[in-house]
Each structure stands twice: as structure tokens, then as C-alpha cells.
């Protein structure tokens, strides 16, 4: 199911964005998103949105991640979609596996935990699982 920006903006508004830390699910951010400037625009060599989507979908399909959440940074730029520079990965994967699986995405860093604080809408997740913050700055 593809999402549209207007319905996502309404939901983000009800969650208190930008005053509160909010995320979109993998599906909400990536399904139907063809905006090449919606993630990772500050890196020297930028992978396509399809490469981002495929790398994170593979983590889910291979059961290395239970949940992929995308941190919302800006809702106006780019105009056609919502911007993020951060993805949270929750699952049994260890940091070395994660680094290996997403190296082609050229993240600036991968940190353990919620480096910006737990988003208000992170939802249910197994607290015993690893949480990683992957970001492109």
C-alpha cells in the first residue's frame, strides 16, 4: 500500500511534530516513495531510494530486523516527500552484521540505542532486542 504525503503529514501533526521525536514505519516511508532526495542527501555518493529501500527490506525479510523505523527531520524539503537522515533498526542483528549489510548505503555512523531519544510513536517492540541508530549527516 503506497502512502501519500498529505495523510502522513496529518498523522505527524497529531503526534506533535516537530516538537516531538517521531518516526514512520518502513512501509510508510518507503512504499510509494520515489523521491531521490528524501534520505541520505548529504553523502558524497548517494545511493538511490530503491537501494535504501532494498537494503532495509532485506534485513526485515532475512529476519535480522523486527522493525525498521525512519526518523522524521523535515516535512517541507524535499517538497514531494518527507525528509530523513536517520533510520532505526530493531532486531537480533549485531552491529558488525548491520554494518556489513548496509555498507553500500555509506552511513556516517551506526550507534547503539535511540540517539535522539525514543520516538513518541515507536510502538510496541521487544525491549530485549538491539536498537541501532543509522544516520547520514
Q: Could you give phi then psi for residue 46, rounded to 5 degrees?
A: -100, 120
Report the alpha-carbon distance of residue 66 to residue 102 in Å, rounded. 16
pLDDT of 133 above 80: yes
pLDDT at 43: 76
For the chain, the structural domain boundaries read 22-121
Question: Rounded to whole angstroms, what are the CA distances from 115 to 86, 109, 110, 112, 125?
Answer: 10, 11, 10, 8, 17
Write out the H or E segment, with its range, that includes residue 59.
Answer: helix 49-61
What pLDDT, on the 0 to 100 scale, is given for residue 3?
Answer: 85
pLDDT tens readout for residues 81-123: 999 999 999 999 999 999 999 999 999 999 999 999 999 999 9
Residue 72 has pLDDT above 90, yes or no: yes
| Mean pLDDT, residues 22-38 | 95
The pLDDT assigned to 46 comes to: 85
Percentage of residues in the chain having pLDDT higher than 70 = 99
The answer to whether the CB of 14 falls within 8 A of the CB of 30 is: no
Angle among Cα 18, 20, 23 to the nearest 5 degrees reads 85
Residue 137: pLDDT band with limits 50, 70, 90: confident
Tell me what the pLDDT averaged over the chain comes to.
94
Q: What is the pLDDT of residue 1?
A: 62
Amino acid at each position: 500500500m503506497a502512502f501519500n504525503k498529505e495523510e502522513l503529514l496529518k498523522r505527524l501533526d497529531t503526534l506533535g511534530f516537530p516538537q516531538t521525536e517521531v518516526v514512520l514505519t518502513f512501509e510508510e516511508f518507503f512504499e510509494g516513495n520515489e523521491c531521490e532526495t528524501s534520505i541520505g542527501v548529504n553523502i558524497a555518493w548517494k545511493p538511490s531510494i530503491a537501494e535504501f529501500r532494498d537494503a532495509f527490506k532485506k534485513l526485515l525479510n532475512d529476519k535480522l530486523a523486527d522493525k525498521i523505523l525512519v526518523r522524521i527531520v523535515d516535512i517541507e524539503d524535499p517538497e514531494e516527500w518527507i525528509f530523513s537522515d536517520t533510520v532505526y533498526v530493531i532486531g537480533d542483528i549485531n552491529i558488525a552484521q548491520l554494518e556489513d549489510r548496509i555498507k553500500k548505503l555509506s552511513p556516517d555512523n551506526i550507534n547503539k540505542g535511540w540517539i535522539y531519544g525514543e520516538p513518541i510513536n515507536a510502538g510496541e517492540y521487544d525491549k530485549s532486542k538491539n536498537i541501532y541508530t543509522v544516520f547520514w549527516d
